């Protein structure tokens, strides 16, 4: 197989590099804006690779940069084998891959197989064709119910609010589990898989090291598209109410566990067994992942990580069977409250769900779909303090970690004015759900005023708050006590220290409110989420999230020892 860009990332040394890698999620719109139009672009990433190499990550995951009307931040793809002009072109992509590899960084790109944009040529053709025409069969068109077919074909809600069906001009309805501008593909049509295989090979031939597969638990739907049971609809409503109160993450407790039942954390849908929700985790999805794997197996040292919001551990484990995906995101840590018992439970279940298939666990504290963890952990000084401890926790765990851009700067969500909001959830919810823009504000790089070096100008597609002047990468790089310095040291230790090795965690007894575990290589990580100090476990301190004194681990702090 020809690979146009020589692999020089971590894959060069270890074909299974991803099992322990730290990957950094780059939200292309918000990372670096080389052409100063207010939106990030591929050249803006290439220019900033020194920073990522200095930070010490092993690779980058690029969110979609394909031609898109941006109805859902690029997850509405009009052409999966090209670059949106606002982000650059294929030559810019090739430059980025080559430069990343020469910095020793792997490149993982997003693919979006559950749906396309409504501007994809297939969908334009489907709309132009009539009911029953083969062009319609690439999507999920159905006649409506009721008099004149004026009712949607079933009761499925869309993840972004409202029904999951939109009526075309000729009266048929099409399915969109996300926005109406994101029609769902019909995975029963073999052309759909052939096209995904083509897309995978296209980017592999340009040198990418892997894929992040969007909504990897979606795609396959039962042929009869049965109604959702009433309990699931009720549960959806309860989650919608929680979102309105903006306490989605704060309110979970043992009897109302967070749901990974459906698509996005922005709209988790169900705390019931997801088998009750026919929209997700249909068994037929595994045939698709096997086909993806067959493509990847012809390109040595490449990988796929699925975005899999499935709560049942056994069912989650199925996505990473040896002939399916290499990894599945596991959002338990992200959904856990800041308390030792919840965090430990998340870790135990995550490790167990992957161990059954021999896959490596993945750890995520934040991404472009959820409030940043500084905010979820209480915001302000408390949120930052806990996020520092969270970094020690996440990076001590076996498997791979996926950092969200800005985690390393300790950014919190930004309170944006209504008029700049772009997330489709804002409009679709009738302005009750603000959506995910608050975590997507362009990064502050340098200087004292916006756009803080994101570009050479003063504005960006989402406005940065003036107080980010204290959090720029340039300022933090020179401050040994900064979040950035903490991440650099942790990543350095993780790469170099022999104690940070071995694929399991062995739990230590710990006082109420605290937890401690040991990696087989000898690293001990202790975290105190309680309000009073606890004694440090025995050992030599490698690093701590706050200064230590008197052999104690203070509240909201973590430590690594050997």
Return the active site residues. 214, 307
Does residue 260 touch ligand NOJ according to CB under 6 A?
no
Q: Which is nearer to ligand NOJ, 264 or 324 (CB)?
A: 264
Q: Which is nearer to ligand NOJ, 195 or 264 (CB)?
A: 264
Does residue 196 touch ligand NOJ according to CB under 6 A?
no
Strand 173-175 relative to strand 165-167, pairing: antiparallel
Pairwise CA distance, residues 471 & 299, whole Å? 40
Which residues in the 130-169 window bind ligand NOJ by CB under 6 A? Answer: none
Number of residues that bind ligand NOJ (CB under 6 A): 11
Does residue 262 touch ligand NOJ according to CB under 6 A?
no
Residues 6+ apart with CB under 8 A from 524: 508, 516, 517, 518, 537, 539, 560, 561, 562
Q: Which is nearer to ligand NOJ, 196 or 500 (CB)?
A: 196
Residue 271 exposure: Cα atoms within 13 Å on the Cβ side: 14
DSSP notation for 105-159: -EEEEEE--SB--TTSHHHHHHHHS-TT-GGGGGB-EE--BSGGG-B-SS-PBPT
Pairwise CA distance, residues 64 & 45, whole Å? 14
Pairwise CA distance, residues 507 & 515, whole Å? 8
The candidate with the shortest Cα–Cα distance to 526, out of 512, 540, 508, 547, is: 508
Residue 470 CB, shortest distance to ligand NOJ, in Å, is 29
Enumerate the H helices of 212-339 as residue ranges: 230-244, 285-296, 313-318, 332-335
**Binding pattern to ligand NOJ, positions 12-51, x when CB under 6 A?**
----------------------------------------
Residue 143 CB, shortest distance to ligand NOJ, in Å, is 26
Residue 263 CB, shortest distance to ligand NOJ, in Å, is 6
Query: Contacting ligand NOJ (CB under 6 A), which of 84, 184, 209, 369?
Result: 369
Which residues in the 164-193 window bind ligand NOJ by CB under 6 A? Answer: 178
Query: Contacting ligand NOJ (CB under 6 A), which of 84, 118, 214, 277?
Result: 214
Tokens of 509: 């007894």
Does residue 75 touch ligand NOJ according to CB under 6 A?
yes
Q: Return the residue matching tokens 């570009």.
A: 455
Backbone angles phi, psi at 24, to 5 degrees: -115, 120
Residue 367 CB, shortest distance to ligand NOJ, in Å, is 7
Query: Contacting ligand NOJ (CB under 6 A), which of 195, 307, 324, 408?
Result: 307
**Binding pattern to ligand NOJ, positions 513-532, x when CB under 6 A?**
--------------------
Query: Contacting ligand NOJ (CB under 6 A), which of 45, 112, 127, 561?
Result: 112
Q: Which is nearer to ligand NOJ, 378 or 435 (CB)?
A: 435
Pairwise CA distance, residues 376 & 384, whole Å? 10
Pairwise CA distance, residues 297 & 276, whole Å? 34
- Longest Cα separation, the chain: 77
The candidate with the shortest Cα–Cα distance to 33, out of 86, 85, 76, is: 86
Residue 40 CB, shortest distance to ligand NOJ, in Å, is 16
Q: Which is nearer to ligand NOJ, 64 or 450 (CB)?
A: 64
Does residue 65 touch ligand NOJ according to CB under 6 A?
no
Q: Report which residue's Cβ sits closest to ligand NOJ.
A: 75
Pairwise CA distance, residues 203 & 206, whole Å? 5
Ranges of beta strands (E only) in 201-285 are: 210-213
Does residue 394 touch ligand NOJ according to CB under 6 A?
no
Q: Which is nearer to ligand NOJ, 282 or 489 (CB)?
A: 282
Query: Contacting ligand NOJ (CB under 6 A), which of 72, 277, 281, 408?
Result: 72
Residue 75 CB, shortest distance to ligand NOJ, in Å, is 3
Helix-then-strand count for the chain, H and E: 15, 18
Q: Which is nearer to ligand NOJ, 158 or 472 (CB)?
A: 158
Residues found near ligand NOJ in the complex (CB under 6 A)? 72, 75, 112, 178, 214-215, 263-264, 307, 368-369
């Amino acid at each position: 197989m020809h690979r146009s860009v020589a692999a020089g990332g971590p894959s060069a040394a270890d074909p299974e590099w991803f099992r322990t890698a730290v990957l950094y999620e780059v939200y292309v719109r918000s990372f670096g804006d080389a052409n100063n139009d207010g939106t990030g672009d591929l050249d803006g990433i290439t220019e900033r690779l020194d920073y990522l190499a200095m930070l010490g990550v092993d690779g980058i995951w690029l969110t979609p940069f394909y031609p898109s009307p941006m109805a859902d931040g690029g997850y509405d793809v009009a052409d999966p084998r090209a670059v949106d002009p606002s982000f650059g072109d294929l030559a810019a992509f090739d430059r980025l891959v080559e430069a990343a590899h020469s910095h020793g960084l792997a490149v993982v790109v997003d693919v979006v197989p559950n749906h396309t944009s409504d501007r994809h040529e297939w969908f334009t053709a489907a709309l132009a064709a009539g009911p029953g025409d083969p062009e319609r069969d690439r999507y999920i068109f159905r006649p409506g119910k009721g008099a004149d077919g004026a009712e949607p074909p079933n009761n499925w809600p869309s993840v972004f609010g409202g029904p999951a069906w939109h009526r075309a001009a000729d009266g048929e309805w099409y399915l969109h589990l996300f926005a109406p501008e994101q029609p769902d593909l019909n995975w029963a049509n073999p052309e759909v898989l052939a096209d995904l295989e083509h897309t995978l090979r296209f980017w592999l031939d340009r040198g990418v090291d892997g894929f992040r597969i969007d909504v990897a638990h979606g795609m396959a739907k039962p042929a009869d598209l049965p109604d959702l049971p009433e309990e699931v609809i009720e549960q959806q409503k309860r989650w919608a109410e929680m979102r309105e109160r903006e306490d989605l993450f704060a309110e979970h407790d043992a009897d109302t566990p967070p749901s990974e039942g459906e698509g996005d954390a922005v709209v988790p849908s169900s705390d019931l067994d997801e088998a009750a929700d026919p929209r997700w985790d249909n068994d037929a999805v595994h045939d698709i992942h096997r086909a993806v794997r067959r493509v990847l197996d012809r390109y040595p040292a490449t990988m796929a990580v699925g975005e899999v919001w499935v709560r049942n551990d056994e069912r989650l484990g199925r996505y990473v069977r040896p002939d399916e995906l290499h990894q599945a995101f596991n959002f338990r840590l992200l959904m856990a409250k800041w308390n030792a018992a919840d965090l430990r439970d998340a870790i135990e279940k995550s490790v167990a769900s992957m161990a059954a298939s021999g896959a490596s666990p993945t750890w995520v504290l934040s991404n472009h779909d959820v409030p940043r963890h500084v905010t979820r952990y209480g915001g302000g000084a408390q949120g930052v303090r806990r996020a520092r401890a969270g970094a020690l926790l996440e990076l001590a765990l076996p498997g791979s970690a996926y950092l969200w851009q800005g985690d390393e700067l300790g950014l919190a969500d930004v309170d944006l004015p209504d008029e700049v909001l772009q997330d489709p959830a804002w409009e679709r919810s009738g302005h009750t759900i603000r959506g995910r823009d608050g975590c997507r504000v362009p990064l502050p790089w340098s200087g004292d005023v916006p756009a803080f070096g994101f570009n050479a100008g003063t504005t960006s597609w989402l406005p940065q708050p003036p107080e980010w002047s204290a959090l720029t990468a340039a300022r933090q790089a020179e401050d040994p006590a900064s979040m950035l310095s903490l991440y650099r040291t942790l990543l350095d230790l993780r790469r170099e220290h022999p104690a940070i090795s071995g694929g399991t965690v062995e739990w230590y007894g710990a006082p109420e409110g605290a937890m401690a575990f040991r990696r087989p290589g000898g690293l001990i990580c202790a975290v105190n989420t309680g309000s009073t100090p606890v004694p440090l476990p025995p050992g030599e301190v490698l690093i701590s999230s706050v200064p230590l004194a008197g052999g104690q681990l203070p509240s909201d702090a973590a430590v690594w020892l050997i």
